[in-house]
Every structure is written in structure tokens, then in C-alpha cells.
Chain A
Amino acid sequence: MSSTSDLTIQVVEATPTQPWHKPRAEQRRDALVYLALAVVAYAIVMVTGIAGPDGFALVFFVEVLLLTILRSRGIGKAKSTNAIISTVIGAGAVVAFAPWMSIFVSLVTKGFHGLYVGYLFHDMRVTTPDDELNMGGVGHAIIGSMLMVLIATAITLPLGILSGVYLTEVRGRLTKVVRFVIQSMSGVPSIVAGLFIYTTVIALTGSFSGFAGALALSVLMLPTVARTSEEVLKLVPEDLRAVSYALGARQWRSSLMVVLPTVRSGLTTAAILGVARVVGETAPLLLTALSNNAFKFNPFNGPIASMPMYIFGLLQIGTEYSIARAWSGSLVLMLIVLALFITARRLGGKDKR
């Protein structure tokens, strides 16, 4: 029926025969099957000695595995093995995810009722830990943590990036030594970092301070920033360095103007990962910054509050309301770290675009 007179393109009508998504009916049937399995698992948990949510999960897993084995009969050995292994690996993923979910859920459920609008903006100056939960707040601890982390970042970011540049760009004679020192630093227990500052800075100045706390955090933060910077700088194509040398650039100008700008977002990620590493540290602050109940904006003048010390202090008091406050503080701290990590992921993702 093709007409040779007009040269229109003949299009053959067709419908796809291989759907990439399961048909609606099949999806509904699968959902029903899994629901039925869950009900059966619940019944087994009720009737037998197996108990608790982990018992339920175990029974459910065994059921799904049995179902997979039953279904995979007669479809060939390779296919049935594939189906069974897929089920086992899927279960493994759920198990790996479970602890995180457990922490998240318990923080939200236990920390939630201590939260109110003023919680983020009040301090504990006039509120005792036993007061009702609609008084006082974590504002002073957020400010204190922020001050110390900012100072620690201001110290470690240049140092960390510079050591990254030394390891990847300069590649001097001390490369191995520097890498070894950074690796051993990342293994330093956090209490040792606190002790180090306690025996040097605190012993010298004679008083606890936010600045000393920031120094202790820097000891822990530096290896993270340095190693991340090194990894990021390693990703810069060798070509770009060659081009800038071929253009007549000296090494430091090439590093400063070509290599570092190329990984700007990666270095931002390094900074944020460093911050996330130390923002929840308690031990180094215990010996350096101590704690405080009021807003304080001067990091050089005596003890200062921080998120982890706020939580730690309230837990030690151990009354009903103080523990509730500690849970709320933990929830806020986790949300801050979560926000930092999300920011890091988004900034880091831009490089790969």
C-alpha cells in the first residue's frame, strides 16, 4: 500500500510488548501476597515462643524465602538461584538499614515532646532541669557549638587543604611522613585530643574556654579535612596541570588558579564532613570548654556550653524532665548533622554533573 508518488515516511503502528513496569493487576496481587505473609508471620509470633519485632522480621524473612523457592521451581537453575540470592541480599540491606531507623525513631519519639518553638531560642539560665518542658531551651548550646566549630573550621580548613595540596601537587620529600601523620591523627581517641589541650592550653591560661574547646576539636577535625581534600584533589585530571604548565604557569599559580577552583565544591564537602565529624564530640569538650547554662558569645572568656555537653549534663542529672530535655537536644543535634550531610551531598554532587 506504500505510495511511490508522495515521499511521506511510512510509520508502522506498534504497541510495546515488553512492559518495564509490572501491570497494575500483578502489583496488587504481589501486595496482597506480602500482606498475607505478614499476617501469617504475626499469627506465628502470637502463637509460638518467638517474640518481639525481631522475631516477626525473622519469621517474615523465612516466609518470603520459602515463597521465592516455591516460585522459582521449574524456571531453571540459574534463574532460581538468582531469585533466592536476590531475596537474601534484599534482607541484608534491610538489616543494615535497621539500626539507623531504630536510632532515628527512638530519637524522634523520645525527643519530640520536649520540643516547642522557644526550645531553639532559650537558654537554661533561669530554668532548672526539672522545670516543665515548655521552659528553657538549647539556644545557648547551639551558639556555643557554632562558635567552637567555626573557630575549629577556620583553623583546620586552610591547614587541611594545604596538606592535601602538599600530598597531591607538591609531592615533596615528606609526602609519606605527612600522610602517615594524618592517618595516625585520625586514630587519636577524642579524649586524648581533649587531654592534649588540657595539659597545654588550659594549663597555660589557667581557665576553660571555648577557644580551647575549638583547638581540641581541630585536632580531631584536621585529619578528616586533610584526607578528604587529598581524595578530592586526586580527582583533578593530570591534563589540567599539564595544560597550565604548558601555558607557562609556575606550580603554585597552577595549584591556586586551576587545580583548587576546579574542586571548589569538593573542598566545601571536605569542610562540611569535618564539621559533621566534630559537632557531636563530647569528650574533648569535657576537659576544655566544659559547660555553661547561659548564652555566651565570647569564646575566650571561661566555660561555654555546647550541644553534646548540654545532653551529657542533663543525662547525668537523671530526672524525668532532664532526660526528656537530653533527648530533645539529641534530636536537634542529629537534625543539624543531617542537614550538614545533605548539604555536603548536594555540593559534592555538583562536581559529577
Chain B
Amino acid sequence: MNVVSQVGTESKTSKENGIIMNEMSTSGASTAVVERPLGLETRGLHAWFGAHHVLSDINLQFPERSVTGLIGPSGCGKSTFLRMLNRMHEFIPSAAMAGEVLMNGSDIYAPEVDAAAMRLKVGMVFQKPNPFPAMTIKENVLAGIKLANLKVSNHDDIVEKCLSRAGLWKEVKDRLDASGGSLSGGQQQRLCIARSLAVEPTILLMDEPCSALDPGSTLRIEETIRELAEKITVVIVTHNMQQASRVSNYCAFFLSDGGPGVLVEADATRKMFTNPTDTRTADYVQGKFG
């Protein structure tokens, strides 16, 4: 099964999305030649927790400067898959993996790769808003720079730019020295997005970023995601089919029948929601199960 090829088949839809599909052909080699390291691809990716095989043979390419939604019922391994894209998977003591994650053509699991340096290029937003409680709003935005010991001088500019990109600047510009915990849930999540943008990642991973938020905040964050996708590659896990159809350009459908999760189908979002190849995809996006 080569699902990767299916991403490339729907060239008409993808042109509407402003993507040149040739760049992400099945070979995967072409992604290495881009001006910024936006390319992300997995090859034969497997994951285990102890002896429990949770993901099997995932081959997936993420089109650059677009939003890819990972959908599927609970327990199908989407979040595990997402966490393997920036090596957060390996912090779980029993976790094991096989396969390759190619970022701009090179494997991030290669022995010479420095995981911390690699994670600088890949931002992550978690399900629960989690600003650092001991820091102010401003310090939270700059936390990544401080934690990675990056040398930058224009701190105030970075704070304004990142908060603006996350759609939070207008609401907090007069209280940058307030605690991050004093914001509402939706604002906290946008603060977390701003925090992950401050180190200028080229890929942003989001693990159900809106599942703990109200509809208003969700809309704001979806707007933010679409704006971000003009410059960087976004991968988002979501349980919300409406959200997947609103925000993503491409979708990948994961499914598990009790065994390890597999990738059933990956394609342009419009095709996935109107005319999917696999009947299980059709059943899922129409809400017949899951």
C-alpha cells in the first residue's frame, strides 16, 4: 500500500490550494531541494509501547506551507505519530520505534542528530494550554529563546511579532508583565502558540490544540493556523471533523482495529470529505463510527 502516491493524485484540488504537487511526488527526494527546511516525510514508521505495537508502517509526506490534519478515532495512534515527528515519543521509557522521519531529506533519528537542536526547528502545541506558571506573558513568549540559549537582541520585537501572529497581541499588549496563568484558556493556548513561534520553527505540530477550548477561541486559533500555514508546515491532530474540514488542506486518516494503527488514506481534505477512496474513510468523516 503506497498512500503517499494518493496525496499526489489530486492535482486539480491541490492547485487550488496553491501547492505545486510535483515537489512532493512519490519519490520524496525532491523535498530536499527547497529554500527553507520545510519538508517532512515519514517512511516505514512503526511505534511500540513495550511489547504493544501501536503504529505500523506509516508512509506519509507533509506538503509544505500547508495544514495537514491527522484524523481517526481515539486510540488509533495519531498523537503517538505526531510525537514521533519531533522525537518526544522517546521520553516515554517503554517507547520504541522503527523507520525514518525525514526532515528536509535527512533522518531525525540518525545517530548524529542532536534531538534538542532538531526540536528547535519543530514547534509543538499541546492539547492542554500550558504556559509556564512562574513566568510573565512576555517571559513565556521568550522562554524558548532563553531555554535554547539563543543570542537575540530585539526581544520586544519578537514578543510583539509572535503575539501578533498568534492573534493575541491586541488583548495582552498592555499587560505583558502579568502572569501567563491570568489569561483565559483560549488566550493561554494562543500564548503557547506564540511561545512555540518565537524560536522560528519551520514545522508546527499541534496535538488537539482546541479540544479544551470554547468555540470562540477555537475560531481564533483556526484563523491563526491558516495564517501560519502561509509560511510554515503545520500538522494538526484533531477529533473534530468540522475543524479538520475548515482548517486543513490535507488529511490523513488513521485507524486501528485493536491491533496497531495504520494509515488508511491520505489526500487533499476536499477529496477526503467528498469522495474518499476507502469506504472506511467515508464512514468516518460522515460520522458513522468513531
Contacts and interface: CB of A to CB of B under 8 A. Distances in A.
Contacts of A254: 147
B18 interface: no
A247 B144 contact: yes
A78 B37 CA distance: 71
B20 to A, nearest CB: 30
Contact of A243 (B116, B122, B130, B149): B130
B143 A248 contact: no
A242 interface: yes
Contacts of A237: 130
Contact of A258 (B116, B147, B149, B196): B147
A24 B132 CA distance: 50
A261 B135 CA distance: 9
B195 A264 contact: no
B130 A262 contact: no
A253 B144 CA distance: 11
B182 to A, nearest CB: 11
Interface of A, helix, strand, loop or mixed by DSSP = helix
Contact of A246 (B133, B135, B196): B196
Interface string A234-252: 0001011011111111100
Contact of A244 (B122, B128, B133, B143): B143
Nearest to A258: B132
Contact of B130 (A239, A253, A257, A261): A239
B199 interface: yes
A249 B126 CA distance: 16
Given A247-B143, A248-B144, A248-B148, A261 B134 contact: yes
A240 B149 contact: no
Given A239-B130, A240-B130, A258-B132, A250 B123 contact: no
A257 B147 contact: yes
A246 B199 CA distance: 11
A249 B133 contact: no
A262 B133 contact: yes
A242 B116 contact: no
B220 interface: no
B124 A253 contact: no
Contacts of B122: 246
Interface string A245-281: 1111110011001100110100000000000000000
A245 B134 contact: no
Interface string B41-65: 0000000000000000000000000
A246 B147 contact: no
B119 A246 contact: yes
Contact of A248 (B119, B133, B134): B119
Contacts of A248: 116-120, 144, 147-148, 199
Interface residues of B, number: 28
Contacts of A253: 147-149
B238 interface: no
Interface string A210-242: 000000000000000000000000000101101
A242 B147 contact: no
Contacts of A244: 132, 143, 147
Contact of A257 (B123, B133, B146): B146
B262 to A, nearest CB: 26
A336 B119 CA distance: 50
A245 B88 contact: yes
Interface in B85-123: 86, 88, 91, 116-120, 122-123
Contacts of A243: 124, 126, 130, 132, 192, 195
A247 B86 CA distance: 10
Contacts of B146: 257
Contacts of B91: 242, 245
Nearest to B117: A248
Nearest to A237: B130
Contacts of A264: 134
B181 to A, nearest CB: 10
Nearest to A261: B134
Contacts of B147: 244, 247-249, 253-254, 257-258
Contacts of A242: 88, 91, 126
B130 A249 contact: no
Nearest to B135: A261
A257 B143 CA distance: 9
A249 B145 CA distance: 9
Nearest to B130: A239
With a 10 A CB-CB cut-off, give which of B91, B130, B147 has the most chain A CB atoms: B147
A67 B144 CA distance: 67
Nearest to B86: A246
A247 B121 CA distance: 9
A264 B220 CA distance: 34
B238 to A, nearest CB: 18
Interface string B133-164: 11100000001101111000000000000000
B85 to A, nearest CB: 11
B124 A246 contact: yes
Contacts of B86: 246
Given A248-B148, A254-B147, A264-B134, 11 more contacts: A239-B126, A239-B128, A243-B124, A245-B119, A246-B122, A246-B123, A247-B120, A248-B116, A248-B119, A257-B143, A258-B134
29 contacts: A239-B126, A239-B130, A240-B133, A242-B126, A243-B130, A244-B143, A245-B88, A245-B116, A246-B88, A246-B122, A246-B123, A246-B124, A246-B196, A247-B123, A247-B124, A247-B143, A247-B144, A247-B196, A247-B199, A248-B119, A248-B147, A249-B144, A249-B147, A253-B147, A253-B148, A257-B143, A258-B132, A258-B134, A262-B134
- Which 6 residue pairs across A and B have the least CB separation, nearest first? A248-B120, A249-B147, A246-B124, A247-B144, A261-B134, A248-B119
